[in-house]
Amino acid sequence: MIQTFQALVVSEEKNGDIRREIQTRTLDDLPEGEVIIAVEYSSLNYKDALSAVGNHGVTRRYPHTPGIDTVGRVFSSTIDEFSPGDQVLCMGYDLGMNTAGGFGGYISVPSDWVMALPQGISSLEAMQIGTAGFTAAQCVDRLCRLGLKNGDGPVLVTGATGGVGSLAVRLLSFLEFEVTALTGKPEQTVFLEDIGATHVMARGKLLRGRGKMLLRERWAGVVDTVGGEILATAIKATRYGGMVTCCGNAASGDLPLNVYPFILRGVTLAGIDSAICTMAQRKMIWEKLASVWRFPGLEKVSRTVTLDGLEKEIVSMLKGKARGRIVVDLREER
Ligand SMILES: NC(=O)c1ccc[n+]([C@@H]2O[C@H](COP(=O)([O-])OP(=O)(O)OC[C@H]3O[C@@H](n4cnc5c(N)ncnc54)[C@H](OP(=O)(O)O)[C@@H]3O)[C@@H](O)[C@H]2O)c1
């Protein structure tokens, strides 16, 4: 019997228009891979929204199925490390970029993209966290390794209502840091306080100092998800010896800055990548998320939709209106 499944397929017309529709696919439509995974859940990340609207910086070739995150069970495997039925995670690498991704009932991938789902975390929880939460955890891990401690002073999280931002707020609060959540959505103040923000700040307030070379020392640490003027202004107000992680460009890919925060205050700017980081790094972060960093309240920062509910969420995310995490349930798509 031919194995069929449903998938979101993004196509590019000759005139450049982009069409998104749910189609019936077969395993033969997937690329050759050592491991075929029956997807239980995926999640919507900013990169998926870009891929879904034809962004060639993310996806070069269409038709294509986005979805950089998947958790599911091994359907078949040509290598001994994985057996049918194993519960596994596959996130990042080329998945959902130019390799058909998690917005379909099955994926077919190289075995070195796959890891066992850590004990102590359910498949739903893994996608409530997803790449966004994994990235937030990488940022917090880096800040801690650079020496940041929870008594040191306020930590700024930018894009705080977004996927990475909201999980960074949640994790930092769980680890008893004082967290300032920066947002363009003041109407989400109650949400941000509920997930652990100590203070909520409007974007406009932070940006008031943007023209100056340096600003009053304020932040012990920063988790930035948006880039541009916001990141530059946050760095100018980072305390002597403070540290800043940079993982996103939701506002801009530019960084309009000078060298003074670095040469006068010894500020450290650390880049974070989740897509092609090593398997050792992935396992280390996921083990933490499944144990000492297993924070409660994932249901407060996430919602679950099915494939046909994705369209609305993609549009909302690209308008900067998303709040928290969107999990995609694919269990009925086969
Ligand atoms: N380096 C990596 O490996 C990695 C991994 C995951 C994500 N990322 C990147 O991190 C960023 C955030 O991802 P995400 O999944 O959290 O996206 P998201 O859920 O869409 O959240 C982005 C948030 O940024 C804020 N924002 C949006 N547009 C803005 C603008 N023009 N100016 C200022 N703030 C704006 C909004 O929050 P507020 O309204 O609360 O301000 C929005 O909710 C993206 O650029 C993504 O590509 C990178």
One domain, residues 14 and 100: yes
Does the residue 171 lie in any domain? Answer: yes
Does the residue 125 lie in any domain? Answer: no
Residues lining ligand 1, Cβ inside 6 A: 45-47, 131-132, 135, 159-165, 183-185, 203, 225-226, 230, 247-251, 272-275, 317, 320, 322
Which residue carries 């190289």 as its tokens?
Answer: 110
Q: Which two tokens stand for residue 202?
A: 């409007």
Report phi then psi at 242, rounded to 5. Answer: -75, 170
Report pTM.
Answer: 0.97
Residue 12: is its pLDDT beyond 80? yes
Enumerate the H helices of 246-278 as residue ranges: 260-265
One domain, residues 106 and 195: no
Which residue carries 């924070």 as its tokens?
Answer: 295
One domain, residues 150 and 264: yes
Residue 209: is its pLDDT beyond 90? no
The alpha carbon of 148 is separated from its chain's Cα centroid by a whole number of angstroms, namely 22
One domain, residues 202 and 312: no
Spell out the residues 6+ positions from residue 216 whose beta carbon is closer than 8 angstroms to its own. Answer: 237
CATH number at residue 22: 3.90.180.10
Does the residue 104 lie in any domain? Answer: yes
Domain carrying residue 99 = 4-117+301-329
The alpha carbon of 295 is separated from its chain's Cα centroid by a whole number of angstroms, namely 17
Does the residue 180 lie in any domain? Answer: yes
Query: What was the pLDDT predicted at 334?
Result: 87
One domain, residues 98 and 170: no
Of 232, 193, 227, nearest in space to 213 by CA: 232
User: For 286-296, how does the pLDDT look when each residue is reduced to its tens digit (9 = 90+)?
Assistant: 999 999 999 99
One domain, residues 255 and 140: yes
Given 223, 251, 271, the domain boundary residue is 271
Which residue carries 């359907």 as its tokens?
Answer: 75
CATH number at residue 252: 3.40.50.720
Query: Count of domains in the chain?
Result: 2
48, containing H or E segment: helix 46-52
One domain, residues 147 and 226: yes
Q: Given the CA of residue 203, which atom of ligand 1 is nearest to it? A: 41
Residue 2: is its pLDDT beyond 90? no
Q: Using the 8-state DSSP alphabet, how is residue 64 labeled?
A: B
d(CA 308, CA 7): 10
Does the residue 160 lie in any domain? Answer: yes
Does the residue 286 lie in any domain? Answer: no
User: For 44-68, how does the pLDDT look when each residue is reduced to its tens digit (9 = 90+)?
Assistant: 999 999 999 999 999 999 999 999 9
One domain, residues 194 and 224: yes
Does the residue 197 lie in any domain? Answer: yes
d(CA 147, CA 141): 10
How far is the centre of ligand 1, averaged over its atoms, from the C-alpha of 82 (Å)?
34
